[in-house]
Amino acid sequence: METEARALAFEEALRRAGVRITRQRAALLRVLADAADHPDATQLHRRATEAGAGVSLATVYRTLSALEAQGVIQKLEFEGEPARFETADGQHHDHMIDVETGEVIEFLNERIERLQAEIAAEMGYEIVRHRLELYVRRKRQP
């Protein structure tokens, strides 16, 4: 239910921005709203297909670009793998990637955010966007 509500909210926002909601876009929005992980284009294509929606991979890419341009989703480009996507409803956060399992953990630290802005400001810059990724491994218990 949560999923459908979120998908509808996205459609609402998109329509308001003048973006047409086609059958394939509606399907992709649902797959995205339902994803607890951070799927890439191919996985999204497979999920949409399994859900019975006829969508081409080209359209998946085109839709993802459009959704990103609208700020509805966020593209994640981790090292050495195809881009992944996540819905952008909650607040900003950074990512931790378990190099052994590939699992992605989200986190947010206000102090780091503030420090970044300070560093940029000290050098005469303002931050447009930033990327912070921690490639980690589970600590073995002593």
Binding status of residue 101 toward a copy of itself by CB under 8 A: no
Concatenated DSSP letters for 12-52?
Answer: HHHHHTT----HHHHHHHHHHHH-SS--BHHHHHHHHHHTT
Give the integer Cα–Cα distance in Å for 56 and 41.
11
In the bound complex, what is the minimum distance in angstroms from residue 96's beta carbon to a copy of itself? 7
Query: Binding residue for a copy of itself (CB under 8 A) from 58, 90, 139, 142?
Result: 139
Interface characters, 48-87, with a copy of itself (x: CB under 8 A) = -----------------------------x-x--------
Interface characters, 37-56, with DNA (x: CB under 7 A) = ---xxx-----------xxx
Q: Shortest CA distance to 91 belongs to which of 74, 75, 79, 77? A: 74
Binding status of residue 76 toward DNA by CB under 7 A: no
Give the CA distances from residue 12 to residues 15, 61, 110, in Å, rounded to whole numbers and listed in that order. Answer: 5, 21, 31
Ramachandran region, residue 52 (left: φ > 0; alpha: ψ -120 to 50; beta: rest):
left
Residues that bind a copy of itself (CB under 8 A): 77, 79, 96, 98-99, 105, 107, 109, 111-112, 115-116, 119-121, 123-139
Residues that bind DNA (CB under 7 A): 15, 19-25, 40-42, 54-59, 61-63, 65-66, 82-83
